[in-house]
Amino acid sequence: MEFVNIALAKGRLAEKTIKMMNNQGITFPDYHTNSRKLIFENDFEKIRIIFVKPSDVAIYVEKGAADLGVLGKDILMESEADLYEVMDLGFGSCKFAVAALRDYVDLPGKKIRVASKFPNVSKKYFNELGRPIEVIKLNGSVELAPIIGLADVIVDIVETGKTLEENGLVVINEICKVSARLVANKVSFKTKMNHITRIIEGLKRGAE
Q: Supply the minimum distance, in Å, between the C-beta of residue 139 and ligand PRP.
A: 7
* Element containing residue 79 per DSSP (H, E): helix 73-79
| Helix boundaries (H) for the chain | 12-22, 57-62, 73-79, 119-129, 144-148, 162-166, 186-191, 193-207
DSSP state of 117: S
Stretch that binds ligand PRP, among 8-16, 57-65, 139-147, 191-199 (CB under 6 A): 139-147
Separation of alpha carbons 203 and 89, rounded Å: 8
Q: Supply the minimum distance, in Å, between the C-beta of residue 123 and ligand PRP.
A: 18
Q: Which residue is nearest to ligand PRP (CB)?
A: 140
Stretch that binds ligand PRP, among 57-65, 77-85, 155-163, 195-203 (CB under 6 A): 155-163
Separation of alpha carbons 90 and 178, rounded Å: 9
Query: Which of 27, 35, 141, 197 is the binder for ligand PRP (CB under 6 A)?
Result: 141
Examine residue 167 and tell whether it contacts ligand PRP (CB under 6 A). Answer: no
Examine residue 36 and tell whether it contacts ligand PRP (CB under 6 A). Answer: no
Examine residue 148 and tell whether it contacts ligand PRP (CB under 6 A). Answer: no
Separation of alpha carbons 82 and 79, rounded Å: 9
* Cα atoms in the Cβ-side hemisphere of radius 13 Å centred on 189: 17
Query: Which of 157, 169, 180, 196 is the binder for ligand PRP (CB under 6 A)?
Result: 157
Examine residue 174 and tell whether it contacts ligand PRP (CB under 6 A). Answer: no
In this structure, the strands spanning 4-9 and 180-184 are: unpaired
Contacting positions for ligand PRP (CB under 6 A):
140-143, 156-163
